[in-house]
């Protein structure tokens, strides 16, 4: 068997196009564009590139982009003050503070300052709690992008057995909650899981988000499984995922590549969350189909 490749790039481009088509209707009804504010603290080159990419994508979708690049020496109080200012800005619908922050700043304190209605990363405890009890919430971008790819590939996920490898607050835990919402039977595996290959082998769906390059081998997988590889690791100058793509491709039915799989979905879903937040703040339903 040779697995089919689930290309996130094409899906993300389609999602971004649908978002761009929906923005003019919002502008017509509300009288302004949706706005996304991205805050970066420090000079990390990779983060700077990522923030620029987000800004470019936001403008291309017809939204307002507000970028705040602060020096590494910015204090926690100064950053919190900026977030509070953005909370009160009616032109800003989404606030994203680029993580990780410098070591002298408490990530949680900053995230907890963000207005939950503008928390397009889905990290605020209010949104985390709503997701856990099945209420509508702003959901972390990467897990939501994974669900979109799975539903596009498999349709109805009800009754499928899903194994999520990784229990981070950013990917693993929200991914499990979203799969439960889709009526999957979900197992969350992690570094302390006994007989991990046997656990993974039960999965009709396997989501790898553990941060270990090429850890998941083909022989760990059920024949025909759908594999979503969230990992991004640099090995000898090459980007690889948490799944050994070559061996997994011989067993899986479908698999996301690294790069080009889950990665492109993250910014597309960020735009989707921003548009959804703008609608909610304006008291509008929708956006439909996104």
Domain membership of residue 90 (yes or no) is yes
Enclosing domain of residue 41: 31-115
Q: Which residues partner with 165 through β-bridges?
A: 189, 208
Q: Is residue 126 part of a domain?
A: no
Number of domains in the chain: 2
For position 1, what pLDDT does the model report?
A: 60
Evaluate whether 259 touches 251 at the Cβ level (below 8 Å). no
**Could you confirm whether 121 is annotated as catalytic?**
yes
In CATH, what number is assigned to the domain containing residue 238?
A: 3.40.50.720
Asked if 67 and 155 sit in the same domain, the reply is no
Q: Are the C-beta atoms of residues 33 and 27 closer than 8 Å to each other?
A: yes
What is the DSSP code string of 30-59?
HSS--EEEEEEES--HHHHHHHHHHHHHHH
Catalytic option among 115, 119, 121, 204: 121
- Are residues 89 and 50 part of one domain? yes
Residue of 33, 93, 98, 204 marked catalytic: 98
Work out the number of other CB atoms within 10 angstroms of the CB of residue 155: 8
Return the closest-CA partner of residue 153 out of 203, 214, 205, 208: 205
- Alpha-helix residue ranges (DSSP H) falling in 88-212: 107-113, 125-132, 141-154, 172-181, 196-200
96 and 188 in a single domain? The answer is: no
- What 3-state class would DSSP assign to 222? coil
Q: Is the peptide bond before 100 cis (omega within 30 degrees of 0)?
A: yes
| pLDDT value of residue 119 | 98
For residues 204 and 226, is the Cβ–Cβ distance under 8 A?
yes
> What is the SS3 assignment for 13?
helix
Bridge-based pairing state of the strands 161-165 and 185-189: parallel
- CA max distance for the chain: 57
Residues of the chain with pLDDT under 70: 1
Q: Is 56 a catalytic residue?
A: no
Whole-number pLDDT of residue 89: 98
Which tokens belong to 176? 């499990």
Residue 158 lies in a domain: yes
253 and 145: one domain?
yes
- Residue that is written with structure tokens 């978002």 in the block: 19
Is residue 5 a part of any domain in this protein? no
Active site residue 54: yes
From 33, 54, 118, 222, active-site residue? 54
Judge if 146 and 110 occupy the same domain.
Answer: no
Give the span between the Cα atoms of 29 and 26, in whole angstroms: 5
Q: What is the pTM of this model?
A: 0.95
Q: Are residues 187 and 77 in the same domain?
A: no
Q: Which residue has the tokens 């439960």?
A: 180
Q: How large is the C-alpha radius of gyration of the chain?
A: 19
What are 231's two structure tokens?
Answer: 């990992």
């Amino acid at each position: 068997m040779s697995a089919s490749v689930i290309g996130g790039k094409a899906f993300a481009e389609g999602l971004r196009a649908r978002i761009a088509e929906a923005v003019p209707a919002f502008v017509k009804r509300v009288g302004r564009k949706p706005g996304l504010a991205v805050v970066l603290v420090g000079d990390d080159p990779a983060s700077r590139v990522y923030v620029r990419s987000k800004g470019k994508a936001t403008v291309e979708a017809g939204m307002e982009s507000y970028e705040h690049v602060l020096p590494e020496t910015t204090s926690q109080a100064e950053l919190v003050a900026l977030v509070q200012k953005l909370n009160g800005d009616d032109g800003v619908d989404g606030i994203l503070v680029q993580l990780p922050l410098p070591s002298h700043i408490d990530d949680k304190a900053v995230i907890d300052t963000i207005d939950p209605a503008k928390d397009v990363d889905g990290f605020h405890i209010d949104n985390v709690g709503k997701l856990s009890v099945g209420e509508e919430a702003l959901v972390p971008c990467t897990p939501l992008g994974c669900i979109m790819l799975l539903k596009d590939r498999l349709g109805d996920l009800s009754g499928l057995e899903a194994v999520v490898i990784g229990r981070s607050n950013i990917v693993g835990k929200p991914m499990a909650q979203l799969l439960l919402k889709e009526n999957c039977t979900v197992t969350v595996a992690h570094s302390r899981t006994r007989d991990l290959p046997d656990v993974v082998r039960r999965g009709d769906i396997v989501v790898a988000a553990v941060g270990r390059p090429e850890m998941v081998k083909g022989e760990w997988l059920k024949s025909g499984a759908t594999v979503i590889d969230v990992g991004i690791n640099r090995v000898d100058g090459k980007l690889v995922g948490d799944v050994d793509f070559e061996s997994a491709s011989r067993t899986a039915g479908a698999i996301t590549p690294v790069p080009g799989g889950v990665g492109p979905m993250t910014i597309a879903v960020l735009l989707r969350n921003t548009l959804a937040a703008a609608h909610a703040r304006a008291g509008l339903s929708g956006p439909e189909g996104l």
